[in-house]
Amino acid sequence: MLSPLAVVALVGRFVLLFALLMLVPLAFAVIGDDAAKGAFMTATVLTLAAGAAMVVLARRFRRELQARDGFVLVTLTWLLLPAFGALPLLLAMPSLSVTDAYFEAMSSFTATGATALSGLDALPLSVNVWRCFLQLVGGLGIIVLAVAILPLLGVGGTQLFKTEMPGPMKDQKLTPRIAETARGLWVIYFVFAVLCFFAYRLAGMNWADAFMHMCTTMGLGGFSSHDLSYGYWDSPAIEAVAVVFMLLSGVSFALYFLAWRQGSLRILWCDVEVRSFYAVVIGAVLLISVYLTVNGTYESYPQALRYSVFHVVSIATTTGYASADYAQWPLFAPFLMLLLGCFATCAGSTGGGIKMIRLLVLLKQARRELVRIVHPNVVNPVLIGRAVVNPKVIHSVLAFMMIYGATLVTLTMLLLFSGLDVVTAFTAVVACVNNIGPGLGNIGPVHNYGSFSDFQTWVCTFGMMLGRLELLAVLVLFTRQFWRG
């Protein structure tokens, strides 16, 4: 049986933890004495008070989580925390609507990178820090962060971890204790983040920009503190740092954890999904760079290669940075990049999309069915590497893809119904559900979602949350079977 008050008690603890995260932008505001200092102080107090109230009201109902509790808790947490994340934005920018503030916070927390704001260079530093810092936290998942310390709160976290971690094979544990697993993932994440921060600083960013772009690179979120994004610097060195760490973040952090425990990088090279990820990205870079050169988009191949590398990696990893208006390229190139963003990253990375492993399973299953047409009685299991894929996993992937396709169609039709043109509507849904950020049409790399109506913005907001929690964890709540005793 579901226990609503037990769920509320845990959500209250997450809200308290979330309030502590506001101390990071508050520190920037105090040190820089910027205009948003009061907004962050007020938001921190309100969030602490709300979290404390939830904990106190439900303190008698603590118990071990059941499977269904995990789905409710994760979904409720990902609905509520962006609401509290929007508070500083509303207080610091009174002209901002509640809809746009919640959209911005959800985009930050889901590491999508779709923004409704313009004039980023003129925003208070603390506001930009908050937008970017949320992407660092949301990248790997605040639920995993909380699971790492749940033993201190006296509750178990296995169901939360299984619901939050992306990918079809998330039941596998890396260590016997789930909290140790979560802590291990965050240690790896933190080490990479520190390296990324100093790399940006050495490449030419100032300290504040290096911190903010480290957050959005590691979270594969793509927010920037400048309207021109990476075009602000026009620096090959800075772009190179971004490319390296986007590629690193597109690989499962679980594999990095295992490589560290085993003291060998062999496990990374032997992983079929990792090899496929890099092969697809490299192939797309070469194809698009040649295509741009042949079409005369850039005068020389080295120039075309530079912009191709940066933007293919950015969109394929669902980051969404831009150093040029790639929407002006021949249409084949930006559409191919958006397609890559739907599947290229690995399960267990901070990227969005359906994940490369699901695509591999689908392709293997399709090939298996073609073989069975010719040889009906042949024994031909689906293999990923040398491992036989469990039929339950195949069925799960097929069901996921059917729901994924239905979601894209439904949300696109809603945006078309609201009056958007087909390119903007379709690419907005693809960009939001796959947590890519920018699309094409009116939401290309030099535009944003600020022109959307409230209805259109809420559709995209819902799409971002669905994509971040991989559809099934949210949509299962809409089935009658879930709520039966």
Q: How far apart are CA 340 and CA 356, in angstroms?
A: 10
Phi-psi category of residue 321: left, alpha or beta, with phi > 0 → left and psi -120 to 50 → alpha: beta
Residue at 289 is within a domain: yes
| Cβ–Cβ < 8 Å for 114, 203 | no
Q: How much is the pLDDT for 264?
A: 86
Per DSSP, the residues of 14-80 read HHHHHHHHTHHHHHHHHHHT-TTHHHHHHHHHHHHHHHHHHHHHTGGG--PPPHHHHHHHHHHHHHH
Residue at 181 is within a domain: no
Residue at 323 is within a domain: yes
- Whole-Å CA distances, 242 to 106, 214, 217, 310, 348: 23, 9, 7, 8, 20
> What range does the domain containing 290 cover?
253-338
Residue at 264 is within a domain: yes
Residue at 28 is within a domain: no
Residue at 404 is within a domain: no
Query: Into how many domains does the chain fold?
Result: 1
Q: How far apart are CA 91 and CA 42, in angstroms?
A: 8
Q: How far apart are CA 441 and CA 425, in angstroms?
A: 9
Q: How much is the pLDDT for 152?
A: 40
| Cβ–Cβ < 8 Å for 255, 271 | yes
Confidence band for 153, pLDDT divided at 50, 70 and 90: very low
389-435 pLDDT tens trace: 888 888 888 988 999 999 999 999 999 999 999 999 999 999 999 99
Q: Does residue 3 register a pLDDT over 80? A: no
Locus of tokens 């192939």: 283
Residue at 9 is within a domain: no
Q: Which stretch of 73-77, 145-149, 208-212, 426-430 has the lowest confidence by average pLDDT?
A: 145-149
Cα distance from N-terminal residue to C-terminal residue, the chain: 6
Q: Does residue 144 register a pLDDT over 70? A: no
330-371 pLDDT tens trace: 999 999 999 999 999 998 888 889 999 889 989 999 998 898
Q: How much is the pLDDT for 336?
A: 97
Confidence band for 388, pLDDT divided at 50, 70 and 90: confident
Q: Does residue 182 register a pLDDT over 80? A: no
Residue at 18 is within a domain: no
Q: Which tokens sit at 133? A: 């810092």
Q: How much is the pLDDT for 393?
A: 83
96-122 pLDDT tens trace: 999 999 999 999 999 999 999 999 999
